[in-house]
Structure formats: C-alpha cells, structure tokens
Amino acid sequence: MTDNKLIASMAQIESKIFLIRGQKVMLDADLAELYGVETKRLNEQMRRNIERFPEDFMFRLSAEEKAEVVANCDHLARLKYSATLPYAFTEHGALMLGNVLKSDRAVEVSLMVVRTFVQLRQMLTSNVELSRKLAALEKNYDIKFRAVFDAIHELMAPSDPRKKRPIGFAPWEEK
C-alpha cells in the first residue's frame, strides 16, 4: 500500500471519528462501510460475539445523540429515518470488530483505524505539550508580545461549531 493511499485512508477514517459521551467513537454504519459489509451483518456479528464487547468497547446511541450526529454529518443522512439506533464503537471496539469479521479487509482496516486513533492521541499530547511551553514563554516576555500569545492561543483552541458560517451560497453584502 502506498503512503498516499494510506494517508487518504487515515484522513477518511479520521473524518468518521466523533466525540460522544466524552469518548472518541465510530458509528456502526461507518465501520461497516470501511469493512465492506452491511451494517446489519456487522451488528449481527457483534451480537453473536457480545461477550467480546463490554460497555467500554461500544454503546448504543440515544435518540437525541442520533439526531445530533445526523444533523451534523451529511454522510449520515441515511440514518435519519432509520428505526434502529446506531451503535458507537470505541477504538477497542472497532479493533474487536475486525477480529470477529475475520476477513483480510477487516484486519487491514482495523489496523488503519487503530493507527488513526493513535495519531489523534499523539496530536492531542503534542498540543498539551505546546501549551505548557507557550505558558513558560509568556512568563518570560512582557506585554508587547501579548497579542502574539493571544493569537496563538486562539489558533490552538478547538473551534466552536456554532460560530462557523453556514454552508452554501450567500450573496455578497454591501458595505
């Protein structure tokens, strides 16, 4: 597998990781697509091997959580009218799914999923480390650099999705 293909796949996987209930998870529909199986079959295999999926490996979304995820993610619009609530799998649950599916593709995809979760953890760790170094620098410099430090802090802060511009065409405003 080439590095370009791997990077694209990791970026694709990263876009399907959500923060729900304070945990980074992937939904059953996204995992089924990656593993090349139907969501129904993926959940069937999970239920057949339920002893391998404790509650820290997966959980079922509530109706409110499902509605929020569907509203925020266009690629999950197909879940909007689904009668069943989706399952959310943590990193360990996604890896265990690869084990119970027992296909070459499942093994390859589960390795990419784990690598993506590890990469996200490393980015988070480096961000924390960068914050510590920045705080130490702020103590050493006077008020002249306050604007620079404020700009850096703003760039490091996670963006608030409610502050984003709406997507779509909007006519230019006259000034």
Segment 47-64, tens digit of pLDDT = 999 999 998 999 999 989
- List Cβ neighbours of 77 (8 Å cut-off, separation of 6 or more): 70
- The whole-model pTM stands at 0.64
Asked if residues 3 and 13 have their Cβ atoms less than 8 Å apart, the reply is: no
Phi-psi region at 164: left, alpha or beta (left = phi > 0; alpha = psi -120 to 50): beta
Query: Among positive and negative, which fits the CA dihedral 68, 42, 121, 78?
Result: negative
Per the model's pLDDT, the better-predicted residue between 68 and 131 turns out to be 68
User: How do residues 83-93 score in pLDDT, each as one tens digit?
Assistant: 889 999 988 89
pLDDT (tens digit per residue) in 150-173: 777 677 766 665 666 666 666 666
Segments making up each domain of the chain, as ranges: 3-124
